[in-house]
Each structure stands twice: as structure tokens, then as C-alpha cells.
Amino acid sequence: MSEPFDAVDVIRAKRDGHRLTDAQLDWIIDAYVRGVVAEEQMAALAMAILFNGMREDELARWTAAMIASGERLDLSCAGRPTADKHSTGGVGDKITLPLAPLVAACGVAVPQLSGRGLGHTGGTLDKLESIPGWRASLSAAEFMTQLREVGAVVCAAGPGLAPADRKLYALRDVTGTVESIPLIASSIMSKKIAEGSASLVLDVKVGTGAFMKTVPDARRLAETMVALGTAHGVRTVALLTDMSTPLGRTAGNALEVAESLEVLGGGGPADVVELTLVLAREMLADVGDADPADALTDGRAMDVWRAMIRAQGGDPLAPLPLARERHVLTAPVAGVLTRLDAYAVGVAAWRLGAGRARQQDRVSAAAGVVLLAKPGEAVRVGQPLLELHTEDESRFARALDALADGYDISVSEVRATDIRVPDPGLTPPRLIIDRIG
């Protein structure tokens, strides 16, 4: 059977700045999944989109075609409202771990399909896999049963969800087209819309440790994703949040699980608690005015966490992996720590074994970085700043190289005895930068 369009004509149209028709958009995605459109042809189209962009209605249709390439989940079995959260990724961003059980404890079901880390940003599934016995892959029946009975699921997406995105994501990574905002937005939103949640909260990171380095770029991405969600009938809001300093006090898989347990137990770093509660309130906006902070202090969120981990084969009470080798980086001078770069810490954690360079690489559950000081805190000469964890001591040298220019200590402050020492859980300035939607 002959095809209704020629891929070269579609590429030329976008190359020359034209809006692709709905029929062209539907066909090119479907033909790509079927193998009729070759990888090099889709690569050329992706580059044309990178240079020329897409109109709002054009992008909505492109995203709809990506959704239609697979299944769209029906979450009516949950028996209660559903809400999901997506973060664009950062360093120390363990928010999904306390957030999902917290929101479920307050009456909203959370179907969280998560991913793995790549490069300097951590992956939620990698973190959870540091819990003995926990498994990321669930059958459709297991997913629905857990959502109904526990109220929260954090797992890997199945192969039937937006398969067009799976192919295109891998292609963009090797063709220099990752930076296209329309392609980023459609990649994220096609999966999240297909997931079937009634509402979605987006945590769009901005800063040195984020994919989006500037507020204007982050805002453009957030506005594009909110428009896509709204166009597809999903109540969508986005928060722009700071990722110039690592979130919390840890970067690494088991280390971040341990810190999340502190939050679920009513403690934890102030910035992690703040962002968890802000996102929880957004996800609970349609179900009354219950304060999610109460569910952290009274143990309800922890109860859901334990049920969620057990449902996926994990032992929530088992000890977490500990690194065999540790190295402490100390302050070379006295003063105030004024900068601790999220990207530098993320690269250090990656080099210690907590991250991967390729999707097929294995990660170390125990590797990572513990932040013993945060910006705004006074430090003495020789005071520990960072503690590096790894299974292989030969990794320390390259991790330390990554951190060499990753922090600043101001020695021009007043005498150390006069410096006000903030709370160790100091929240970074402007953690919540903006709200869109």
C-alpha cells in the first residue's frame, strides 16, 4: 500500500518554516514507528524543528500523534482523584520519594511512571532500587491493583506507552537535537498525558544543575508544557524551582532514600520539606484544604511509603547499602560558604558511581556525596564540607577534580565570631521562582 506522504516533502516543509498539516503530523509519527520513515529522515526533521520551532496548535497535534502511537491508561479503577508530578531533573532531587506517599495519604492516587538517571542528574528508579528487593517493572494488572489498594505507584513505564517517544528520545540524544523546547515538551507530555492522570504538576528546574540554565528558557518550557496538558484535558500547573545548589544534603541513590525517610519521619532538610509540601498542595488542590504537613508528622505518609515499597517486593525496614570507601573534603580557609554548584556536585556523584553515561550502564547504590555545609553557613579551616562515598577508591581523584571549582568561601566577611550561622537546613534563596498555570 502506498503512503499518503513522502518524508522528504514533510522535512522540506518544516525546513522552510511552514506549519505541518494535521495529516502530515499524524502520518510522520505513525510512519516512523512503523519503520517507513528512516532514522536519518526523522533526524533531519528533528533538526528542522530545532531551528524553526512549532506553533502551539502544531505541537499539540504532534504530541497527540505521539500519544496515539501507543495506549492511554484508564485510571478510573483508582476510586479517587489522580494526580502526578514530573521533574525535569536535578541534583539531589529526591522529591518523588516522599511526595508520592504523602499525596496518597491525603486522598489522591499517584500513578508515577519514572525514569533512570543519565549523566549528572539522578533517576528515581535508581534510587528506589537501592532498597533490597524493590522492583521497578510492574505488569498492568499489578500497577492498577497497587494504585487502587495503596494509592501510590512509582515504577517504570511499560513499552506500550508512547512508543514514538521512546524511538525519538534515543534519536535526539545522538543527533544534537535534545535542546529543542518543542521536542522536550512533547517528549515529557506525551508520556504524562498517556499515563491518564487527571492533573499534573510540573517541577521545572532552573540553574547550573538543571537542563534549563536560565529563567527565560525554563519559563518557555513550562508554558509550552502547561499549554500541551491543558489542550489534552489535563489540569496542568508548573513551578519553576532553583537548581543552582543541590536539593537537600545528599546526592546519590541510597543516600537520597535515607534523606527521604527523614522527611517522611517528620524531619529532613528544610528545602526538601518545603518543596515536597508546595508540590503536594498543588496536587491536592482539587480535594479540599487538608494540610499535607500533618500527614508527615502523624505518620500517615510513612505508612503509605512502607505499603508502597512492600507492594513492589521491597523491604522498607532493611538496611540501605553503605559505601566501602569515604573521603572528606575540608574547607581550605575560614569564612562563609557562598556557593556550592549543583552541576559540580552532580558530576562528582556520577564519577563516584551514582550515575551512568549510557542507559545500559549499571549504577552503584551506595555511591554519592553528602553535603556537610550549605551556602550561607560559616565554616572553619579544616571543617568538613563534603563527604564522598564510593565502592572504588580510584574514583575519588576524578570526583575531586569535578569539585575543584564547585564552591566558593568568602574570606572578606566580618570576624568569624561575628558571623551569624544559619540553621543547617537553610533553604536556598528563591527555591520557588515562579508558578505557571
What CATH number is associated with residue 331? 3.90.1170.30
Please tell me the least confidently modeled range out of 44-58, 99-113, 377-391, 421-435.
421-435
Whether residues 264 and 386 share a domain: the answer is no
Is residue 17 in a domain? yes
CATH number at residue 46: 1.20.970.10
Please tell me the least confidently modeled range out of 39-48, 156-165, 324-333.
156-165
For 324-361, write each residue's pLDDT tens digit.
Answer: 999 999 999 999 999 999 999 999 999 999 988 776 77
Q: Find where cell 494488572 sits.
A: 141
State residue 122's pLDDT score: 78
Average pLDDT over residues 252-257: 98
The answer to whether 108 and 287 have CB atoms below 8 angstroms apart is: yes
Q: What does pTM read for this prediction?
A: 0.92
Amino acid at 433: I
Whether residues 243 and 368 share a domain: the answer is no
Q: What is the C-alpha to C-alpha distance for residues 405 and 209, in angstroms, rounded to an integer? A: 14
Residue 287 reports pLDDT greater than 60: yes
Domain housing 339 = 325-418
State residue 173's pLDDT score: 80
Is residue 164 in a domain? yes
Is pLDDT larger for residue 12 or for residue 289?
A: 12
Whether residues 114 and 222 share a domain: the answer is yes
Whether residues 299 and 354 share a domain: the answer is no
Is residue 352 in a domain? yes
Whether residues 88 and 226 share a domain: the answer is yes
Is residue 426 in a domain? no
Please tell me the least confidently modeled range out of 70-79, 138-147, 213-222, 356-365.
356-365
Whether residues 46 and 140 share a domain: the answer is no
Question: Rounded mean pLDDT of the chain?
Answer: 93
The residues annotated with a catalytic role in the active site are 86, 165, 172, 187, 191
Residue 1 reports pLDDT greater than 80: no
Q: How many domains does the chain have?
A: 3
Whether residues 283 and 345 share a domain: the answer is no
Is residue 1 in a domain? no
Residue 178 reports pLDDT greater than 60: yes
Whether residues 258 and 114 share a domain: the answer is yes
Cβ neighbours for 56, distance < 8 A, ≥ 6 positions apart: 224, 227
Whether residues 156 and 36 share a domain: the answer is no
Whether residues 110 and 240 share a domain: the answer is yes
Residue 382 reports pLDDT greater than 50: yes
Whether residues 243 and 389 share a domain: the answer is no
The three-class DSSP label of residue 188 is helix
Q: What is the C-alpha to C-alpha distance for residues 253 and 124, in angstroms, rounded to an integer? A: 8
Whether residues 342 and 202 share a domain: the answer is no
% pLDDT > 70, the chain: 95
Q: Which three cell numbers stand for residue 343?
A: 552541576
Residue 363 reports pLDDT greater than 50: yes
